[in-house]
Structure 1
């Protein structure tokens, strides 16, 4: 039985994670079939990419395939197409059982390497609110484990699927497995069985996990705009000052027009910020920019004070070096 889950409306970016157990000795035939499928799906509107994850140790020859489309409607068109049904008919003799799938609507690309677990839950209709509260407890426990990078819950979408899906990621497979095998999680699962009838776990490799933003405003997401602005200024000010004192000065000596000199300086400053200073600044202020959990006002104000101190030091430094 195919199982699907989703988070947002039909117009949202969508990913489908398909898992299939290949019969022993049919790996080559399956990979040939998958290559054919990959060529076919590229012709469908909204297709963005696909990735194949071979079975890991102890995964019972379970292959995971990820397809990503621009919109949920476009993904649904692929899933419901006659072309895909014909491909599934070709695949069926290669499998031990019917494949399973989870459709995840939403998420944004990222470059972080990580490993993701995708868990599909058949939640009891009368216990959905209890399930959500239970998931909050699970998230609190996950945050205490090494390597945890974030979690996102995908609610059912009427007419598309019934199951709930939770996707969470860790920085390494070892850290993910440590959580999955932990006694803490086992106790939580005992409680959770009061709220769902069944669940399935899928492990997916690093690139897929980067398709999720996870909790915005935390380490798994994006820092608040005001923090981003403060750190950009911290990197931008010395960049502009140094370029004015070096590149700008040298261009002026050769009579380069101001408008063209400003353009060159802007190109240089953007390059320096992108590949040199901003990575350094964001690493230095990582815990303040995106703390791994709730923090007090004092914590955030302490970060502000440090950034302001850095501003002051830069002003003193350039005041002394540029003083006539």
Structure 2
């Protein structure tokens, strides 16, 4: 391994771009990458584009030293480019600086999948509705046999506990695995 690799500094930039501005952002990326190449110590740039409709971009810039990376970060050129693109970003950019080769051996943070609310609604409804029919039917003989448990507040509480327990511990873990492809698509 070349000893110079120990001094290499990587800048990891994360941008979340509004969907309507992706084309403008792509043009901006080409311009800023070209400008960065002119700075002392620039060793290359990698752009990881979103693989879905999210708009999450990751840009990795490499410089031969932390000092040269800092010069780029603090430059008027970069500040001007960031001011230009800021209105297209969903939130402020995230910056991480790594020295040496550590970045390439650090696993990226995993992004949690989240289903759209409409799909969450449909899955939850399709699981709860049958339970609201079956569970009271199953407990009806118990409430008839023990009249105290059949009182409205007590019976409703018991039914709610049983339905919530079944949803959280029995049905939803298995059901979401079963429909995961559709749910998170």
Q: Give the TM-score band, short-chain normalised.
A: 0.5 to 0.7
2:107 maps to 1:168 = yes
1:65 is matched with 59
Alignment map for 1:27-42 (pairs within 5 Å): 27-42=22-37
Q: Any gaps of 5 or more consecutive residues in structure 2? A: 1-5, 113-185
For residues 6-53 of structure 1, give each alpha carbon's deviation from its aligned partner in whole angstroms, at most 9, with x where no partner exists: xxxxx9210001000101111110000010001100110000000111
1:26 is matched with 21
1:7 is matched with none
For residue 98 of structure 1, the aligned residue among 67, 92, 114 is: 92
Alignment map for 1:155-304 (pairs within 5 Å): 167-168=106-107
Q: Any gaps of 5 or more consecutive residues in structure 1? A: 1-10, 109-117, 119-149, 152-166, 170-175, 182-324
TM (normalized to structure 2)? 0.52
1:51 aligned counterpart, secondary structure: strand
Cα offset for 1:168? 2.5
2:18 aligned counterpart, secondary structure: coil
Cα offset for 1:57? 3.5
1:78 is matched with 72
Instruction: List structure 1 runs of 4+ shifted beyond 4 angstroms.
Output: none
Cα offset for 1:61? 1.3
Q: Rg: which structure is higher?
A: 2
Q: What RMSD in Å do the two structures reach over aligned CA positions? A: 2.5
Aligned-partner Cα distance in 2 for 1:22–1:57? 12
Cα offset for 1:56? 2.4
Cα offset for 1:72? 0.6
TM (normalized to structure 1)? 0.31
Aligned-partner Cα distance in 2 for 1:83–1:37? 9
1:227 is matched with none
Aligned-partner Cα distance in 2 for 1:107–1:93? 33
Q: Which has the higher contact order (CA 8 A, sep 6+)?
A: 2
